[in-house]
Amino acid sequence: MAAFLSILPLIFIMIIILWLVAVNKRLTRKSLTLRQSKLIFVGYISFLLIATVFSLFLPSSEAKLIKNLTLREDMTDNLFMKAQQGGFSSIDQQRISQSWEFPYTGDSLTLSSDYYDEGILIERTNELKGKIEVYFIKDWQALGVNSVSMDVSEYTPDMDVEMTSDTLMVVSPEEELIIELAFSELAFPMKQMIGESQFGHGYSSSGSRFFYIRVPQDLQIEFSEYLYVDYVNN
């Protein structure tokens, strides 16, 4: 039954085309002479040709393609790793998308989050007294569509943090971030001959972003187990 339902639209289309083709003979009987038909068809082909030429100049640069995923420097040279090794100050300031400062005098701090389950780095430092610094660092975001990867860092959402008494809450943006992506792919015979799978598309994403939280040296930090929290090695 399911198989039948799936070919139903195809049958429907076939009937429509049959009707078109059959009626066409009757329609053209009166209205179209050989010359007119020729003219129309030549027009159609030239339209297709012109459109093809134009399509070559469509701006495809909107996608920042990553030619080779492994070679990109800021991906291999992971910021998280760098910061963990104590190299936070050497991180390009542009990479820090947001920062917050909270006055805090308590003995212990609880970390929590709504959906966020990525990296949180904590640096205990003597430099801070009675305050906490929070930085959100967008490391990199790559989106793979089939065999193509592109950089979609700019679409990484901005996060928010809230401080309530002794809890630092990481809040994801209320609205889900949606990336509208359109791409044209090869027709099925082309894909078949190139050996690409004909069914479905492969999407992959990889990337990293993390919070870097600087706290006074002796602050007690608590967090639920599903948070991935690490400390900077000093």
168 three-class SS: strand
228 contributes a contact to another protein by CB under 8 A: no
Where in 50-69 is the site for another protein (CB under 8 A)? 51-56, 58-60, 62-63, 65
Place of tokens 């990199």: 140
Between 102 and 207, name the residue whose CB sits nearer to another protein. 207
Residue closest to 79 by CA, chosen among 234, 212, 203? 212
Q: What is the DSSP letter of 70?
A: G
Count of residues for the chain?
234
Contacting residue, 22, 81, 90, 228, with another protein by CB under 8 A: 22
9 contributes a contact to another protein by CB under 8 A: no
Contacting residue, 196, 219, 221, 229, with another protein by CB under 8 A: 196
Side-chain half-sphere of 188: how many Cα atoms within 13 Å? 3
Structure tokens at 138: 């967008």
Instruction: State in angstroms the smallest separation of the CB of 33 from another protein.
Output: 7
Where in 99-158 is the site for another protein (CB under 8 A)? 115-117, 141, 143, 145-148, 150, 152, 155-157
39 contributes a contact to another protein by CB under 8 A: no
Between 65 and 81, name the residue whose CB sits nearer to another protein. 65
Instruction: State in angstroms the smallest separation of the CB of 61 from another protein.
Output: 9
Number of residues that bind another protein (CB under 8 A): 80
Strands 220-223 and 228-231: unpaired
Place of tokens 């289309």: 13
8 contributes a contact to another protein by CB under 8 A: no
Q: What is the DSSP letter of 32?
A: -
181 contributes a contact to another protein by CB under 8 A: yes
β-sheet bridge partners, residue 96:
137
